[in-house]
Copies of this chain bind each other. A is one copy, B any other.
């Protein structure tokens, strides 16, 4: 290279190379290009930046902590249970106040079950028998309550009976009451505290209004008009899902309470507040008998004076509330901005690519523009002479 070469390289390093353009004085293509430019720019500004806020980095993996607390008492008077008052410790399962909680609204109680033998319930198809040989001993009854002892129990002179089983006896036989036991549960309230944090932005907030008014939370109720009070009346929650409380109280159900945080952290933190949505999460199944509603069985265990265990079996129907939190936060970030601006500029390239096609192939004078746009140069084995002649000709075309 030598010093001269180095100097040349150094000089050319700061030469600015700019693309040479051919100005095609063609109004149609020009207009088309401007239209494309304007639409791409409009799309970029309006849709990508204003509506979709693609200039923001988003965090959708929020951390959330839920504390729930149900309040309310109700009084029932039934033939099986007598006069009874139900308070929170009685009807909320589990008691801890987590994000999933269940409120008993209906009960089938089978008291004083002991481990012994009795007749299987007649409502279990597999337990029907005509004679002892229909009840192979030791075999559990399919979808039943115990294991067969080998005897077929028939009442009086009936031809048909049910197998004797070893089980928690007597077995549950009562069917679901058609009127909910705790229909008054609609007036219970639940207080939902939600604490969220977006780890990417280290931003945290709660759904409880930051107020100094100590009585606010004692007296308020959530309603679309009062969205900062996270105390919900169960009956209202059910009605907001479009369900009927009495119907869901009889056969049980699952209700989703969705708390949605959609936070633009480029704005003030107070602009970041939750919205609540209420959905019934089991009503798709109502057609299938096996899967309608929501219920489960649990038992309370006791010991008698002789130390023998007995239990009360509860088949609890009720409403399970699933508090689900989801959200996203967005904050200005240079990388998505650049990716989107870059994509927009590349899109402009797509626009001029399309206009080039029109100019070169689809308009009347396209042949003329093609010659102008593309300058043919040739080198190689054909020799310089030929090239020069061609170049000259191309020059003459311009001059002609």
Q: How far is the CB of A51 from chain B (nearest CB, A)?
A: 10
From B341, B359, B375, contact of A372 by CB (8 A): B375
Name A174-198 residues within 8 Å CB distance of B: 191, 193, 195, 197
From B15, B47, B88, contact of A30 by CB (8 A): B15
* Chain A at the B interface: SS class: mixed
Q: Does A73 contact B (CB under 8 A)?
A: yes
Which B residues are CB-close (under 8 A) to A339? 339-340, 343
Contact A290 B166, beta carbon cutoff 8 Å: no
Cα distance A54–B144 in the bound complex, in angstroms: 52
Which B residues are CB-close (under 8 A) to A94? 93-94, 96
List the one stretch of A64-72, A128-136, A238-246, A266-274 in contact with chain B.
Answer: A64-72
Which B residues are CB-close (under 8 A) to A29? 16
Q: Does A160 contact B (CB under 8 A)?
A: no
- 22 contacts across the A-B interface (CB closer than 8 A): A16-B26, A17-B22, A18-B359, A18-B373, A20-B20, A22-B374, A25-B376, A65-B322, A69-B296, A73-B146, A73-B147, A74-B147, A85-B115, A85-B167, A191-B290, A199-B260, A302-B303, A342-B342, A343-B343, A345-B349, A349-B349, A395-B398
Q: A residues bordering B, Cβ < 8 Å?
A: 12-27, 29-34, 47-48, 52, 54, 60-61, 63, 65, 67, 69, 71-75, 83-85, 87-90, 93-98, 100, 102, 112, 115, 138, 140-141, 143-147, 166-168, 191, 193, 195, 197, 199, 206, 208, 210-212, 214, 217-218, 254, 256, 258, 260, 279, 281-282, 284-285, 287-291, 294, 296-303, 305, 307, 311, 313, 320, 322, 324, 326, 328, 335, 338-347, 349-350, 352-353, 355-356, 359, 365, 368-369, 372-380, 388, 391-392, 395, 398-400
